[in-house]
Chain A
Amino acid sequence: QQQVKQSPQSLIVQKGGISIINCAYENTAFDYFPWYQQFPGKGPALLIAIRPDVSEKKEGRFTISFNKSAKQFSLHIMDSQPGDSATYFCAASSGNTGKLIFGQGTTLQVKP
């Protein structure tokens, strides 16, 4: 019940295209869903996050879509750029601990 499942494992997108990464969870107690971007040799960087009381959140080219009934959420990267090439992790946490349960990661390659 603690798992967060992420797909696809890898993704190749042309410059200017839309990148879509999906996550699914089982634990209905999760109440915070962030996405992180990680470049090789660096720590994860917080991109955008959503709470379950909203269905969508947009920040610049990044959008989270959240489907509470399906227990799924996704990251959309609009107008993908080569500089977006990185590994993306979804995560979830619940309650007062705040500890994050991460998905397995998606390696995104944006071709020029």
Chain B
Amino acid sequence: DTGVSQDPRHKITKRGQNVTFRCDPISEHNRLYWYRQTLGQGPEFLTYFQNEAQLEKSRLLSDRFSAERPKGSFSTLEIQRTEQGDSAMYLCASSHRTDGAYEQYFGPGTRLTVT
């Protein structure tokens, strides 16, 4: 399977704990995006990378959130001191430029539940 993969698919954690999610993009896609989706809503942009450089972060991404993409391959999203409001689906999208636009292909997501 050459699609975007995310791990874990589900994570249940207690408030105050740290969690880390991983995204493996489609190979040779130089862009990688993170989004957050809450129940009944569309995904909201969090941050994106071009190769290993993080180029933009949403104001939704508080200082408890950090993302990395070492060597421009897989990416990790870490949430420190989780809060109940962090419960959501975290989506990763892999992208390449096609016809002047960045087509984005999403992974299956990681569903986070903070208790």
Among A36, A43, A99, A105, contact of B40 (Cβ-Cβ < 8 Å): A105
**A51 to B97 Cα, complex, angstroms:** 13
* Interface residue A31 (Cβ < 8 Å from any Cβ of B): yes
Interface size class of B (residues with CB under 8 A): 20 to 34
The reply to whether B33 and A44 form a contact with Cβ atoms under 8 Å apart is no
Interface size on A, residues (CB 8 A): 25
The reply to whether A97 and B56 form a contact with Cβ atoms under 8 Å apart is yes
Among B35, B48, B100, B105, contact of A51 (Cβ-Cβ < 8 Å): B100
The reply to whether B56 and A93 form a contact with Cβ atoms under 8 Å apart is no
Do A102 and B91 form a contact, CB below 8 Å, given A32-B102, A42-B108, A44-B106? no
* Interface residue A101 (Cβ < 8 Å from any Cβ of B): yes
Chain A residues contacting B101 (CB-CB under 8 Å) are 31-32, 49, 51, 93, 98
Chain B residues contacting A41 (CB-CB under 8 Å) are 111
Per-residue CB contact flags for chain A residues 33-60 toward chain B (1 = under 8 Å, else 0) read: 0101000011111100101000000000
The reply to whether A104 and B31 form a contact with Cβ atoms under 8 Å apart is no
**A44 to B104 Cα, complex, angstroms:** 10
Do A104 and B33 form a contact, CB below 8 Å, given A44-B91, A49-B103, A98-B101? no
The reply to whether A43 and B109 form a contact with Cβ atoms under 8 Å apart is yes
* Interface residue B45 (Cβ < 8 Å from any Cβ of A): yes
The reply to whether A105 and B48 form a contact with Cβ atoms under 8 Å apart is no
7 smallest beta-carbon distances between A and B, as pairs: A102-B42, A98-B102, A43-B106, A32-B101, A99-B45, A44-B106, A43-B108
Additional pairs, 4, CB under 8 Å, beyond known A43-B107, A100-B35: A46-B105, A49-B103, A98-B101, A98-B102
